[in-house]
Amino acid sequence: MKTAKEILARSVILLCVSDRCAMEKIYWHPPLSTQQREQQRLAIWEWLNEKGYTDYITEKEKDFFLSKLWRGFSSPYVQNFQWQYEAIEPLLWTLGIVEKRSGYNRYVVTDFRPMLQIKQDSEDSSVFVNSTHIMEEVLDKCELRSEDEIRLYHKVAMLWCWRATQGKKPIFRKKSAKEIIIEIFGKEYEKPANIILRKSGEDNDFVVNNKSVSKLSYNEVARLCLIAKWRYHALEWMMVDKEWDKVKFKMTYLQFKS
């Protein structure tokens, strides 16, 4: 299992990745020129290096930080990085920094900077320039949750990921989700299944925005897949001895349908 330092580093890097994605936006209020956004892109990278986080960064992330702006925020390449913001909350939860985990109804929009002691001292500076953040001070305030808690949450996240990929399959209209889970994964997954179904308020299926997953639209299922994938990715990464980009698990990728 990953150490608290590795988990904190991954959380901070993903937060910085999201800000790097934002630099691809053309429309800002107040307006920012391409030159200003390029300066902020480089400032974020310099901050990561100064704070000792570049030792934990992947090659893909390094290339992204060091590449000039040109793709646009809505490009698939940039969006694939941006969706990873969903992974931050599970990471911070394991460190005891986040108390309550978000549901699967919508994307996480929480600003995690205050929790990580990352502040902007000047409106003219990059998001992270002159930050008061010091890795060791944040680590001193972390209380890593027990391995049993993390393993249970890992199972819950896995089941959400699995259910999202199953989408609208007819089997969920004929048999209860709990019954299917026990048949496929065994009795050890009964407890995480009960946690999910109890919160859903329904025995037959997982519920998102007051609707069974089997009754969601294709767009809604696709969004759930993105949310579930990256939350599970975070927990799976913590449990295995692999780099962030090397974590693999079977996932059915669903395309958005208009």
Confidence class for position 124, pLDDT limits 50, 70, 90: very low
Contact by Cβ (8 Å): 46, 130: no
What's the rounded Cα separation, in Å, for the pair 171 and 97? 39
Q: Report pLDDT digits (tens) over 69-111.
A: 987 778 889 999 999 999 999 999 999 999 999 999 999 999 9
The SS3 call for residue 231 is helix
Look over the chain and give the mean of its residue pLDDT values, rounded to a whole number.
88
Length of the chain counted residue by residue: 258
The SS3 call for residue 218 is helix
Q: Report pLDDT digits (tens) over 218-227.
A: 999 999 999 9
pTM of the model: 0.90
Going from N- to C-terminal start, the domains of the chain cover 4-140, 147-246
What one-character DSSP code corresponds to residue 106?
Answer: S
- Give the angle 214-203-110 at the CA atoms, nearest 5°: 70
From the CB of residue 43, how many other CB atoms can be counted at a distance below 10 Å? 16
What's the rounded Cα separation, in Å, for the pair 137 and 92? 15
Q: What is the pLDDT of residue 133?
A: 87
What's the rounded Cα separation, in Å, for the pair 71 and 4? 34
From the CB of residue 44, how many other CB atoms can be counted at a distance below 10 Å? 22
Closest CA to 94 of 3, 219, 216: 3
